């Protein structure tokens, strides 16, 4: 199962997320849940890196199965707003996958 942990500050701001595990929906190379979750999360991070000046803390597992992102606390307000919008879009997309495939992906908010 893919476990997604999203950490929000009391203000609602996303300060980090971790996605780890494997969906095991289908064999490697044919796993739609894994492919969808990977595309959504990497797409969001690529958008942030391409469209903003934010320097995110990103960690990836060597064999896949781990993606961690830390959003700096000291981003200028205009950049943080863009980062947050892109991360919220990622969360909505992951929740859409979770609704259909809850046996293979779980999202938890802290």
Residue 64 has pLDDT above 80, yes or no: no
34 flagged as catalytic: yes
- In whole angstroms, give the CA distance from residue 2 to residue 80: 27
- In whole angstroms, give the CA distance from residue 54 to residue 63: 26
69 flagged as catalytic: no
Task: Answer for the pair 1, 21: CB distance below 8 angstroms, yes or no.
Answer: yes
- pLDDT higher for 93 or 65? 93
The architecture of the domain spanning 2-6+30-109 is 2-Layer Sandwich (3.30)
Give how far the C-alpha of residue 58 lies from the chain's centroid of Cα atoms, to the nearest Å.
11
**Which backbone phi and psi does 19 adopt, to 5 degrees?**
-125, 120
| Model confidence pLDDT, tens digit, residues 78-103 | 999 999 999 999 999 999 999 999 99
- In whole angstroms, give the CA distance from residue 19 to residue 51: 22
């Amino acid at each position: 199962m893919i476990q997604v942990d999203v950490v929000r500050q009391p203000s609602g701001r996303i300060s980090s997320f971790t996605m780890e595990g494997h969906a095991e929906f289908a064999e490697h190379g044919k796993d739609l849940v894994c492919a969808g979750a990977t595309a959504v999360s990497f797409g969001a991070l690529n958008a942030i890196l391409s469209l903003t000046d934010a320097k995110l803390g990103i960690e990836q597992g060597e064999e896949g199965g781990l993606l961690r992102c830390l959003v700096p606390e000291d981003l200028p307000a205009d950049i943080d707003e863009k980062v947050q919008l892109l991360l919220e879009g990622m969360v909505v997309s992951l929740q859409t996958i979770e609704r259909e495939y809850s046996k293979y992906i779980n999202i938890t908010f802290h």
